[in-house]
Amino acid sequence: MNNTTRIYRNTSNTPGNILGPATWDDATWILTSSFIIFTMQSGFGLLEAGAVSSKNEVNIMVKNAVDVVFGGISYWAFGFALSFGNGPGSNPICGVGYFFLDSWDEHMGLVFSTFVFQLSFATTATTIVSGAMAERTRLTAYIIFSFINTIVYCLPAHWMWAENGFLRSLGAVDIAGSGVVHIMGGMAAFVGSIILKPRTGRFDRGTGPSPLGNPVSALIGMFMLWWGWLAFNCGSTFGISGGKWKLAAKSAVTTLNASMGGGIMGTIISYVVYKKKYDVGFLVNSILGALVSVTAGCAVVQTWEALIIGMIGGAICVGAQRGLDKLKIDDPVGATAVHGVGGIWGMIAVGLFADVDPIEDKTFGRSGLFQSGNFHLLGVQMLSVVCIVVWSGFVSFLLLMAIDLTVGLRFSPEEEAMGADYVEHMINFDEPFGFPADPMGVTLASDVNEKKIVQARSISLTQSASIGNSIRRQSLLCMARHGKVAPATPTPP
């Protein structure tokens, strides 16, 4: 089964039944995986903090915490019910049952371990969006989005992973969420980027890549995601009983091989594009894009096939990000390219490379086009892509537009220039001890705010000339050191 669990009839007074792992060993496995997956929130936060400017680092980390707090509570209240509820009224489109989840019967441990594992997936899907909307989104608006985005995630999860989901019934395969988690998150990121429009000044100097604010933070975040991805994919075997431990071990190898292939392609592309230079953003996004690409088929492809899938995934994600930049769609962390485009390729790759699984029958007895010459699995995978893309894009658009028309999504230009850390969290790095205080000890935040607004309004008038003069000075000095021109008198700032 693909990230699903077996039905257990409830013999106690609690109505209905629940999807859960097969044994307590399986429950222990998925709980442990869930705890590791939870650390991916830190990875996303560090990656996104490394991609934004220093005046927005705190805010983007807070948004990753918000994803767990508000996205988590909504998943407990109704998300798990809509995804895996199998009470009266449950159907191939939507689950019903287990609202405000609780359990007291003999299957309590299995129920709760299932919930924790699925919760880690749900919050991951939402946090993908935060990076694409970084540096210009109001926190209040994002909190509302984090809470209601569970609606966007939980129905595709039902279609693909619930026992009666319609995509699962057709034979669709998504072992660990290339479609359900990553396409969904990537499409929401894409829609959010379009609605918000680019950051102020983002494309004033052309459509080149946005520079990383802190490349070290981005790399550390990538490593944490890499680590979490192993639990993401290996945990999606949903246990270690029977032959599932073999599939978990295989998933670890295919996940690593794919990421290596993606990293190789990112390094080569950067070496060629930047003429023997190695761009950190290319490396990060190619590795993450490869990980997304192998997520759908990690347990049903061969190790050498995973390498190819990762290489193609890494390359197309880097290319997709360049394409979005050319279209002036501002996605600071490349969430659309990595998760959206990478997820689409990952689903298609299953239809091409997957082989029959003799251990747990995760492909429902079918194999991909390259294995059998049969187009059925590829067709079902492409149908799944279309369903998830249309659903996620349309509903995300409705939700984000509703938020924009009510509380407002975007900062004003002055607030954006001041930075979200100051505007949202009262963090003022210009003063050694925060805000100056009046003699009575009362913070004069309004005075500081007025000063900040004046400074922000003047930035656009002076920043361009200052940066340009600095670049010219450095270029002249560099050329002089190499004997190409005589040192010139630096232009005053």
pLDDT of residue 448: 45
pLDDT over threshold 50, residue 418: yes
Same domain, 438 and 292: no
pLDDT over threshold 80, residue 425: yes
Between CA 476 and CA 330 the distance in angstroms is 32
Give the closest residue to 19 by CA, choosing from 156, 136, 140, 165: 165
- Asked if the structure places residue 1 within a domain, the reply is no
Same domain, 386 and 465: no
pLDDT of residue 103: 84
- Asked if the structure places residue 173 within a domain, the reply is yes
Q: Could you tell me which residues come within 8 angstroms of residue 207 by beta carbon, excluding any fewer than 6 positions away?
A: 325, 326, 328
CATH, residue 131: 1.10.3430.10
Q: What is the pLDDT of residues 187-200, one digit of tens each?
A: 999 999 999 999 99
User: In which band, very low, low, confident or very high, does the pLDDT at 1 lie, cut at 50, 70 and 90?
Assistant: very low
- Asked if the structure places residue 186 within a domain, the reply is yes
Surface-to-core class of residue 345, CB atoms within 10 Å of its CB (0-12 exposed, 13-18 middle, 19+ buried): buried
Same domain, 119 and 245: yes
Give the closest residue to 410 by CA, choosing from 193, 211, 212: 193
- Asked if the structure places residue 421 within a domain, the reply is no
Structure tokens at 226: 């890499």
Same domain, 377 and 439: no
- Domain boundary among the residues 343, 372, 406 is at 406
Structure tokens at 356: 């029959």
pLDDT over threshold 70, residue 426: yes
Q: Could you tell me which residue, 228 or 447, shows the higher pLDDT? A: 228
Q: What is the pLDDT of residues 53-105, one digit of tens each?
A: 999 999 999 999 999 999 999 999 999 999 999 889 999 999 998 899 998 87
Same domain, 340 and 446: no
Q: What is the pLDDT of residues 100-147, one digit of tens each?
A: 999 887 778 888 999 999 999 999 999 999 999 999 999 999 999 999
Other beta carbons within 10 angstroms of residue 316's beta carbon come to 22
Q: Which residue, chain included where needed, has tokens 């969904």? A: 184
Same domain, 364 and 441: no
pLDDT over threshold 60, residue 21: yes
pLDDT above 70: percentage of residues in the chain: 83
- Asked if the structure places residue 453 within a domain, the reply is yes
Q: Could you tell me which residue, 393 or 483, shows the higher pLDDT? A: 393
Stretch (H or E) spanning 8: strand 6-9
- Asked if the structure places residue 28 within a domain, the reply is yes
pLDDT of residue 97: 87
Q: Could you tell me which residue, 445 or 218, shows the higher pLDDT? A: 218
- Asked if the structure places residue 193 within a domain, the reply is yes
Same domain, 164 and 242: yes
Same domain, 321 and 394: yes
Same domain, 465 and 327: no
Query: What are the C-alpha distances in Å from 228 to residues 88, 298, 426?
Result: 36, 15, 32
Task: Give, as one character, the DSSP assignment of residue 7.
Answer: E
Same domain, 228 and 262: yes
Question: Could you give the number of structural domains in the chain?
Answer: 2
pLDDT over threshold 90, residue 421: yes
**Residue ranges making up the domain that contains 468:** 428-493
Note the pTM of the prediction, 2 decimals. Answer: 0.85
Q: Where do runs of H (alpha helix) occur along 204-243?
A: 215-234
Tell me the average pLDDT of the chain. Answer: 86
pLDDT of residue 251: 97
pLDDT of residue 429: 66
- Residue 396: how many CA atoms within 13 Å on its side-chain side? 28
Q: Could you tell me which residues come within 8 angstroms of residue 460 by beta carbon, excluding any fewer than 6 positions away?
A: 200, 201, 417
